[in-house]
Amino acid sequence: MDYSFPRETLWRTASKITISAHLFGILANILMLIWLLHYREGMDLDSSNPYRIFNVHPFLMFFGFIFLIGEAMMAYKTVPADRQTQKFVHMFLNLSALVLGIVGIHATFKFHDKMNMLDMYSLHSWIGIGTFCLFILQWLFGFSLFVFPKASAVTRARLAPWHVFGGRALLYMAICAAETGLMQKFTFLQLTNNRESYLINFLALAILLFGITVDISVSLGRFA
């Protein structure tokens, strides 16, 4: 069987999939806000209500981390500018994700502290912290390789695919962290069939579809 890919078709579809990725990401952000502001207690990192502190965590870990790294991965396609600008946007979005991710992780430790709860025992926390530590390494690796002190063109070309694969694997892991986190909260809230449970499930599906569409969008770019 011939494995040649019809480039033109792939390019056209790639742009449709990139648009879907944006839409799933925006949908997930909207559902997240409806959940936290309407069904839950709202968000405030300095609140006396520990649940308002906790709620900063899911919001920042999706909007501030997953959504931004997804958009950063697609920046080479979506930013209508020269390659240097695209590269800067890619680096800057990932740096913002790093900073907002630290604040988001801080929120959950502060919540555990106020509630005298154990830290770092659940699968969600293991996947989450593992992903975040590897993400910091990936950012430092990317920055030193492609920005400053910047490797030679040959080295960059040799290592670029591993940067891409690393990023895709990290997105995969971050999505798993989000899904397990929502699953954990869902079980703690002892939800079964009600409006809030449907909302959380649709939110989680939107996050999953964001991950899949970003991944396919990035992979398609590699072929074409």
Q: Which residues bind a second copy (CB under 8 A)?
A: 1-6, 9-10, 83, 118, 121-124, 126-127, 130, 146, 153, 156-158, 160-161, 165, 168-169, 172-173, 175-176, 179-180, 182-184, 186-188, 191-193, 197, 200-201, 204-205, 208, 211-212, 215-216, 219-220, 222-223
In angstroms, the CA 137 to CA 142 distance is 8
The C-alpha atoms of residue 35 and residue 55 are separated, in whole angstroms, by: 10
Distance CA 17, CA 13 (A): 6
Alpha-carbon distance 51 to 67, whole Å?
Answer: 23
Contacts of 10 (CB under 8 A, 6+ apart): 220, 223, 224
Considering beta carbons, is residue 48 or 118 the nearer one to a second copy?
A: 118
- Virtual CA dihedral for 122, 30, 18, 141, nearest 10 degrees? -40
The two most distant CA atoms of the chain are separated, in Å, by 64
Contacts of 93 (CB under 8 A, 6+ apart): 68, 69, 71, 72, 75
